[in-house]
Amino acid sequence: MKFDKLVLLSMVLCAVVLAGELMAYGPSVHNYSADAQIEEGSFNISVSASDAENYSAIIMDNGAHPAPTQIYIYLDDRYNESLRDVTDAIGLKGIDMGYAIDQMCKLLKIRGFDNIQVCDDEQLLNAMTEDMNGPMSKGLLVMSYALPESIYSGSADSLLFDWMGHGGSLYWMSSPIGMFYHGENGLVTVENSQELFFGKDCMNMAFAGLALSAIDAGGLTEALALKWNRVLYGLDTSGMDGAVALGFSQDGYSSVSMVPFGNGMICVAGGIYDRYQREDMAQLIASGITCYSQILEIRSGDVIRGTAEFSCEVPDGSDGLSAYVYLGGYYVVYGRSFVCSAV
């Protein structure tokens, strides 16, 4: 009998250990969901969690400038070929391009944004050329230090500028925007790159320390849980009509800048490549916030093994309404963006 009890105890202990392994490495046991819809002049939002989580919701009107519903991520096959030249020129920190793109895709998908196309030179050229044939709401994320000459050639007649003018949104991180491009015979430096993109010199190429001042931006920095406080390669947006600065600032430069360009925009994240920068960029893309967004309301709170519900009155004449809802605060576990019609 004593032997049987020992066997039974061993079996119970094994079962407990196995259950722990399944909890740690098996499929997630956490359930999250959100919903948003307009009814009788109100934007009604609900968010649910099977455990205790902090939630945030940002309700906005993007008007005639819809946020990107698809994102291209540029896969630079020549990244390592010219990295040494860029490192010698500006001390850029190199990255593993494939790993960085994989991690960015995962961060976007957690936030409900899965319309992602990873493009090499030829694929990106074909996609952006096709976009010019009609209305679009597309974005391009660049984590490299250079685009191919077929997309950007250091001149105002580059496809990139036509594409943004047509409504495309360019998201740039980890390097000075537009300073280089991949030419037929190697890397080319563009001396007037800042003027091409912004009409003036406005990029921080000197200060690489911590940005100490949080930018309120109408509550958006806190609402998006932005945390990367570096402004190297960031912009000073003062005097730029319609520009928005987010995140953190130092000496007039901001860690995140959004600047209108034609019917599209440019979003620049300052600092060298870092996982916190990557997470902030995922928030910016998935949220659908652009420099054209009018923020109607920001809500936050806790949901504990249940559902939280709240409403926002829809202003008369609103168009392009959307809401971004996410759970987890600084460590996002779930997110979704909803686009609704006020009609």
Domain edges within the chain? 26-62+299-343, 67-292
- 3-state helix, strand, coil split of the chain in percent (to 5) is 25, 35, 40
At residue 246, the pLDDT reads 97
Question: Which run of H or E residues covers position 290?
Answer: none
- In CATH, what class is 26-62+299-343? mainly beta
At residue 42, the pLDDT reads 87
Q: Please give the CATH number for the structural domain made up of 67-292.
A: 3.40.50
At residue 313, the pLDDT reads 86
Query: Inter-axis angle of helices 275-287 and 97-110, to 10 degrees?
Result: 40
**269-311 confidence digits (pLDDT tens):** 999 999 999 999 999 999 999 999 999 999 999 999 999 999 9
DSSP-based three-state secondary structure for 284: helix
The model's pTM: 0.91
d(CA 318, CA 342): 7
At residue 203, the pLDDT reads 98
DSSP at 218: G
At residue 22, the pLDDT reads 40
Contact 141, 68 (CB under 8 A): no
Q: What are the structure tokens assigned to 62, written together? A: 């993007």
At residue 15, the pLDDT reads 46
Question: Which run of H or E residues covers position 234?
Answer: none
Contact 183, 82 (CB under 8 A): no
DSSP-based three-state secondary structure for 226: coil
At residue 11, the pLDDT reads 52
At residue 316, the pLDDT reads 78
At residue 104, the pLDDT reads 98
- In the predicted model, residues of the chain with pLDDT beneath 70 are 1-29, 341-343
